[in-house]
Amino acid sequence: MSTVKIQVWSDVVCPWCYVGKRRLEAALKQFPDPVEIAWRAFELDPNAPRLREEIQSLPARLAAKYGRTPAQAQAMLDQMTETAAVEGIEMHFERALTANTFDAHRLIHLGGLRGVQTAVKERLMRAYFTEGALLSDHPTLVRLAGEAGLDSDEAARVLASDTYAKDVRTDEAEARSHGISGVPFFLLNGQVGVSGAQSPEALLSALRQAQG
């Protein structure tokens, strides 16, 4: 029985990434062999602002990005909310503060070194989508890191420095080398790629394929 290594490129403010995480979890419930999951960094918007006063409402930001009216953007969010609810995810886009996620990814990397990476990933996603947390705010990130099992003092030291910045950039460079332009993207055993928040059945099939 061999371990399947799963790398997932995603962003903590990507709604389909959260849905994809839930669908992967559902697939793994049906997969008997051990797996190792590594959450890799991908920024949907590397130029997103860090300061609260610079942040637009999410419908306005989507409207500008996709050339839609605010009403059309809101309809997209409503549909996404319904899709997420099917997966047991509570999304409140009216609270969402879509800020820069680079520092959040640095903490996710720290989580990988401390054995709590999935917990950190989940806590940050829930904080953004359900609670309206500002994920570029360092005190907020330190609190969330502590709640996810990281040492708060260590998280604060990381955020006050450029620690793990190169690791985040390496993840993003690897995404480009694999031709990844959208997330979530799942790479299983370095060979089988799955793009998008596919169904649990599709992910289970990919796991079996990767298993050989």
Polymer length in residues for the chain? 212
Residue 121 reports pLDDT greater than 90: yes
- Which pLDDT tens digit goes with each residue over 126-172? 999 999 999 999 999 999 999 999 999 999 999 999 999 999 999 99
CATH class as words, domain 4-211: alpha beta
Cα separation, 30 vs 177, whole angstroms = 31
pLDDT for res 162: 98
Domain range annotation of the chain:
4-211
pLDDT of residue 66: 86
**In this predicted model, what pLDDT tens digit does every residue of 53-83 receive, in sequence order?**
888 888 888 888 889 998 999 999 999 999 9
Q: Kindly report the average pLDDT of the chain as a whole number.
A: 96
The pLDDT assigned to 164 comes to 98
User: What is the mean pLDDT of the segment spanning 16-43?
Assistant: 98
Evaluate whether 158 touches 110 at the Cβ level (below 8 Å): yes
Q: Write the CB contacts of 100 (distance below 8 Å, at least 6 apart in sequence).
A: 43, 45, 46, 47, 48, 49, 50, 136
Residue 7 has pLDDT above 90, yes or no: yes
Supply the pTM of this predicted model.
Answer: 0.96
| Alpha-carbon torsion (128, 133, 138, 142), positive or negative | negative
For residue 107, which of 50, 49, 165 has the smallest C-alpha distance?
165
Whether the per-residue pLDDT at 1 is higher than 80: the answer is no
Give the per-residue pLDDT at 59. 84
Q: Residue 32: what pLDDT?
A: 95
Kindly write down the DSSP assignment for every residue of 188-209, as one continuous string. Answer: ETTTEEEESS--HHHHHHHHHH
**Per-residue pLDDT tens for 76-108?**
999 999 999 999 999 999 999 989 999 999 999
120 or 211: whose pLDDT is higher? 120
For residue 58, the number of C-alpha atoms closer than 13 Å in the C-beta half-sphere is 22
Note the pLDDT of residue 14.
Answer: 97
Any idea what the Cα angle at residue 89 is, between residues 124 and 130, rounded to 5°? 50
Q: What is the DSSP letter of 73?
A: H
| Structure confidence at residue 196 as a pLDDT band (50, 70, 90) | very high
Q: How far is residue 50 from each of residues 8, 28, 97, 144, 161, measured CA to CA in Å?
A: 25, 35, 10, 17, 16
Evaluate whether 186 touches 8 at the Cβ level (below 8 Å).
yes
